Amino acid sequence: MPRSSSVDLLTAQPDEVAPEGPKPLWAPAFPFTVTTRVSVWVGVVVVAGLFGWGAWQRRWIADDGLIVLRTVRNLLAGNGPVFNAGERVESNTSTLWTYLNYLGAVIGGPVRLEYVTLTLALTLSVAGVVLVMLGTARLYAPRLQGRRALLVPAGALVYIAIPPARDFATSGLENGLVLAWIGLLWWMLVCWSQQQRDRAWFTAALAVVAGLSVLVRPELALIGGVALVMMLVAARGWRTRLLIVVTGGLLPVAYQIFRMGYYALLVPQTALAKDATGDKWGQGLIYLANFNKPYALWIPALLLIALGAVLVLTRSAPWWITPADAPGGGYRRWARLVQSPAAVVIFMVVSGLLQGLYWIRQGGDFMHGRVLLTPVFCLLAPVAVIPLTMPERTRFARDKAALLAGGAAVLWLAVAGWSLWAANSPGLGSDATRVTYSGIVDERRFYSQATGHAHPLTAADYLDYPRMRAVVVAINNTPDGALLLPSGNYDVWDVVPAFPPPPPPPGVPMDTWRREIAPHTVFFTNLGMVGMNVGLNTRVIDQIGLANPLAAHTARLEDGRIGHDKNLFPDWAVAEGPWLKKHPYVPPYLDEGWIKEAGVALQCPETARKLESIRAPLGIRRFLSNVLHSLDYTSYRINRVPQYELLRCGLDEPELDGTPYTGLPATGP
């Protein structure tokens, strides 16, 4: 009988002879027995339902999720993909997530942006889990041909049981998009590994999905890039390789050119602000321990490794060889080994390990568990579902076969038991909402407690966060414009008034004129809740550099809180804007000398050129200039201490009240 392709094996019914030629990829992947087929879909429905229900019970939108929506508001208003109008800054890490929310807002029309992002996040999160289960079920399909077996959820149960997985399924961040992308890539790679011959349309589609990695999140290029390399190695002929290069690279390369010309950077400003190339191994290990301890994640890790060992022991054939591997040798054989189920499994496991190492090196995050969810999801993908079946008696004696089958069932029950326990875990307990030495908190619980809302979803809910109502009051009370700085009193903002406005043209009411020419600036860490509760004519900047181009180009503080380890002094904000710069108009904790020094430091030629690259009108010449200088702009750093910045730039210190500045307070001895 002629050799059948792996797709034939997936689509043939028991006791039937597989027809010649490969079946379409969309043909049923699990038509072996009714029991197996039903078990797959029951598992998918149950896990998807539990995950969706669990995520809905913990629904919320994070402050960082609101940052994305501020950019969407500017897109809808015609200001471009920026956080503040007139300043080309990319304050969102995930490009694709930003534009998905924009598309959702356009389609949704009058629906609140918060509800658009909530719907997208939850839908994509559940879709990611479903896709990874279907991909793994298809992975095991050939070995279960004609055999009675149950395909039951294992790794998928572990993932949805981890409380942070349900927290960040609706956070307004890109976690759901990441899950959906990994799930889709996994399913497509499994299908690709089971192909006998190239299909141009499927190859192109897989290359597009792999290429989107860097637009989902920059560090996912470690996954998508390797997937493209695997495809190039396995490709047959230069035309297929050219197709992979073009379709896989078109979107990311085009956007990278746009980023360099529009934002004058090689990376999103968030990566610059958090110094994504730096390392904090010690903090990363603390973050890993913080994630593991409440849920004893080492337990399911050991159980799933044991289950994987049983699956390997009971395989019916060398699973690293596909049916089309026999002919040919040399490079072609190596190419077929790359395009095999075993290679895809190894790829996903190694990808998970690399992602985990990257984040541990980076120092993790200040949000409990968030950035380690992606590595965990990758590691769990090959065992998202597992087959429970009796090993073939041709390979094992009856007693050994029963022992292996019983052992697998016991291990799976242990995984299910752990999942039930972990799903009801109290998590970080009393430390969940306290910023301790580690700097890590349970963000959902923190904001629920701080706002008084069990499910803070909208920007209006965040008005009950300390300082938020006060900032709206302060803006309304300063019609001439002002710089607002956070005060020690949560109900008050320190106000630095704007220069008095010129008189209005004849016939124009004073109040209207003042509001048009004297915008406000708010200097605060929580960009999302502020940015969504004030108008787009109010500039919102932070000291850590997510939206502030000056802060982003300062050096990372070694002892700073992870994710917040840049801290620009507010003196720079006073010096930069049209604000009065002397006491008593500036708060007493600011020094007039520092403000003057910062004002002179802003005249540093390199700094002025960097700011001009994102503030000057954008034409073709400016765009091309930004592209050419984007590497220099990305690596450029300033000193956050104004006096040291003057020394770096070789600028003279300014005079204070006609006398040289000595560094002492103006009112000091």
Same domain (yes/no): 604, 511: yes
Measured distance CA(59)–CA(43) in Å, rounded: 24
Instruction: Assess if residue 24 is contained within a domain.
Output: no
Same domain (yes/no): 63, 196: yes
Q: Are 171 and 121 spatial neighbours (Cβ–Cβ below 8 Å)?
A: yes
Same domain (yes/no): 406, 526: no
Same domain (yes/no): 423, 472: no
Same domain (yes/no): 375, 483: no
**pLDDT given at position 348:** 97
Domain around 514? 456-649
Same domain (yes/no): 621, 578: yes
Provide the number of structural domains found in the chain: 2
Measured distance CA(373)–CA(594) in Å, rounded: 43
Same domain (yes/no): 98, 229: yes
Q: Are 156 and 105 spatial neighbours (Cβ–Cβ below 8 Å)?
A: no
Mean pLDDT split into 10-residue runs, the chain, 669 residues: 35 35 49 78 96 96 95 96 95 96 95 96 97 93 74 95 96 96 97 81 95 96 96 91 95 97 95 82 93 94 90 60 49 83 95 96 92 97 87 53 75 94 90 85 94 95 94 92 92 91 75 68 95 94 94 88 88 93 93 94 95 95 97 95 94 72 40
Instruction: Assess if residue 598 is contained within a domain.
Output: yes
Same domain (yes/no): 420, 463: no
Instruction: Assess if residue 450 is contained within a domain.
Output: no
Same domain (yes/no): 338, 476: no
Q: Are 432 and 446 spatial neighbours (Cβ–Cβ below 8 Å)?
A: yes
Instruction: Assess if residue 655 is contained within a domain.
Output: no
Same domain (yes/no): 350, 464: no
**pLDDT given at position 479:** 86
Same domain (yes/no): 403, 504: no
493-497 vs 482-486, strand pairing mode: antiparallel
Instruction: Assess if residue 326 is contained within a domain.
Output: no
Instruction: Assess if residue 26 is contained within a domain.
Output: no
**pLDDT given at position 146:** 64
Instruction: Assess if residue 170 is contained within a domain.
Output: yes
Checking 413-418 for CB contacts under 8 A at 24+ apart, the result is 414/303, 415/154, 415/157, 415/158, 415/300, 415/303, 415/304, 415/307, 416/157, 418/158, 418/161, 418/296, 418/299, 418/300, 418/303
Instruction: Assess if residue 438 is contained within a domain.
Output: no
Same domain (yes/no): 628, 555: yes
**pLDDT given at position 78:** 95
